Chain A
Amino acid sequence: MTDPSVSALMAEETEGGVPNRSFWSDAFRTLRRRPSVIGATVVAVFFLVVALFPWLFTDKDPQRCDIADSRIPPQWLGGEHPFGTNVHGCDVLAELVYGSRPSLLLAFIVVGASVLIGVTLGTLAGYYLGIVDAIVSRTVEVFLVIPLLLAALLLLSLFRTVDLGDGLLATIIQPAIVLTLFGWMGYTRYVRASVLETKNLDYVTAARVLGASDLRIMFRHVLPNAIGTVTALVPTAIAAVIGTEAVLAFLGIGVRPPAVSWGIMITEGSEWFTGGSQYLLLFPLGCLLATVLAFVVIGDNLRDALDPKLR
């Protein structure tokens, strides 16, 4: 990767006690040089901006539809409906733009909450062992036996008739809770294993001898070792949640109409594919695949950069 003279120079610097390249900046340097990562980041950031500031990309309301304008084919730039309209006469561009919000928000909430739960429980179990570990490990095993999708089907169909309102958060809170409830176990296992590996290393013992508190040891000395593996899992997990949202919408138990999400658009569009309106399926499918692919590529490269053992 670097030529010999540079690595020799680096070796000198690190030997001199000035470690000027940390684990993270090292990984960042590796990632920065790969065109696929740059491309994927651009795509991911683009869709994040779309989800955060939808009004920048369309001035139409996805809920305000005129049935007289049903299924207008895409008019591209300049037309009133650049991406056409759907069966109910809703503007497809506006739907795509606003539909990105529930999909992405759900993914970020679920992954964020899962990581938080997983890291906390994994650290506690690995650090204290004994009874804490027994409870956590058994719980992990119980939740692992029920696959995420089965649990989602069961719980969301049970709670189907609960109406929480029309707000953005209200439409995704149910799938968010269920997907988090059955999505945290992977992180716990990784963090626990990594904590077990680290906690008896000399520098941790040194910190303990110096009188550091348990909390300080956990956060300052033990956790940073585990965070790399967990970070590498996050983009792939985000991609997986976006895909799961589409499945749940297809079944009518995820985000539900009148709210729009990419999953709902794909479900509605698939019925019209052979009926001559291919764009109704292709646009939302394209957006979903581009986003998922971007996150998977970032995840794959992160795994590579953060886990040198796999190279």
Chain B
Amino acid sequence: MGRYVMRRVLQGVFTLFLVILLLHLLTTLAIQLNGNPAQAFFGDRPPSPSQLAAVEKRYALDDPCYDQLGNPCLGPFVDRLAAYASGDFGESLRGREVTDIVGTAAPNTLRLFAVVGVTWMLIGMTLGSIAARRRGKPSDQGIRGLSVLIDALPIFVLLLVYKYVFSVPLSKWAKETFGSDSLPALLFKPSFSADHPWATLIVPGILLGLAGSAAFIRLVRAAQLENYNADHVRAARSKGLSERHVTVHHVVRNSSIPVATAVGIIFTEALAGAVITEGMMNIYGMGGVLWRAVQDSDVSVVIGIVTLLAVVTVAVMIVVDVVYAALDPRIRYD
């Protein structure tokens, strides 16, 4: 087991290195094709050459290789790796450290993920279990139709409709009925409020969770169906255990292993969804910061955050693999 974890971690570090290299090559190509992002620092004002040179130096864009198309710029890449290793992920156009921004923004993203995770589990486990137990019956068909419908509603559309169509009248109504600081008024507030991080995150979190739950429902259904037909369930039934006991102890428990691992796969999707959600609902989280950085052309923040998120994703994938290996003794460690 120890050796397996070790090898998985080493593999993850190698993947991460390749990811950072890929990001570096793509941004280098973009800078070479597109001109210097240091221009964005000045907005519409044309800078003097010395100002431009100072800003280039500050964001480490002064290497001549950025002017030579096709040059992989390995020198700056090594510098960047060294900076990452010492915890320096660059700074924003306003001079704030990316790590500092992330430190204040990450808790809100974690809160959002908590709401999303609970929504997934509730919707996915409940509907998936019902569909598996009543396979082929109208309720199974209905749940399947529902998951198709959920699939067809991109998170972007859900949030847009919620924000522009429902949120305004709902929050107005809640404010008039319950007072402006009451829980319902905060729930339907169209934008995030740092004083009430949980209350203003719940509805966006539920919507994001809902948008991703279709895959979860299908997965739970498939995993449980496999178990309903398995020998150990037939054995449990034939020794006279109650249907309830069989379902809870033999079907749900055994089918939760593939479901748990799927969390890792869906994680990256949820990350992308979080960017849209936080951006559109003005939530001050990792995704919201990234969203605004894209709009302000703040390239160093975009690169820094995408890199950090890649680190987190690789870590989550490793943890999921290791947990899977620990949960399921049939997995071979090679």
Contact residues of A with B, CB < 8 Å? 138, 141-151, 153-155, 157-162, 236, 239-240, 243-244, 246-247, 250-253, 266, 270, 273-274, 281, 285, 288-289, 292-293, 296-297, 300, 310
Known: A154-B303, A158-B31, A285-B161. A145 touches B156 (CB 8 A): no
Q: A141-B15, A154-B27, A251-B279 are in contact. List 12 more A-B contacts (CB 8 A).
A: A145-B317, A149-B276, A150-B272, A150-B275, A153-B294, A154-B26, A159-B30, A243-B154, A247-B156, A270-B160, A292-B154, A293-B152
Residue from B27, B31, B291, B306 with most neighbouring chain A CB atoms (10 Å): B306
Determine the distance from Cα of A297 to Cα of B268 in the docked complex, in whole angstroms: 24
B-chain residues with CB within 8 Å of residue A247 when the two chains form the complex:
154, 156, 276
Contact B309 A150 (CB under 8 A): yes
Q: Could you list some 16 contacts between A and B, CB below 8 A? A: A142-B19, A145-B313, A147-B271, A151-B306, A153-B302, A153-B306, A158-B30, A158-B34, A159-B33, A247-B154, A266-B157, A274-B168, A285-B160, A292-B154, A297-B148, A300-B151
Known: A153-B294, A153-B302, A243-B156. A146 touches B164 (CB 8 A): no
CB B67 to nearest CB in A, in angstroms, measures 16
Contact B269 A157 (CB under 8 A): no
B-chain residues with CB within 8 Å of residue A240 when the two chains form the complex:
154
Contact B156 A157 (CB under 8 A): no
Contact residues of B with A, CB < 8 Å? 15-16, 18-19, 22-23, 26-27, 30-31, 33-35, 37, 144, 148-149, 151-154, 156-157, 160-161, 163-165, 168, 222, 268-269, 271-272, 275-276, 279-280, 290-291, 293-295, 297, 299, 302-303, 306, 309-310, 313-314, 317
Known: A138-B15, A153-B302, A310-B222. A148 touches B272 (CB 8 A): yes
Contact A161 B34 (CB under 8 A): yes
Contact B164 A273 (CB under 8 A): yes
Main secondary structure of the interface of A (DSSP, over half): helix
Give A271's nearest chain B residue, CB to CB.
B164
Enumerate the 3 nearest inter-chain pairs by beta-carbon distance, A residue then B residue, closest first: A243-B154, A158-B30, A149-B272
B-chain residues with CB within 8 Å of residue A297 when the two chains form the complex:
148, 152
CB A302 to nearest CB in B, in angstroms, measures 12
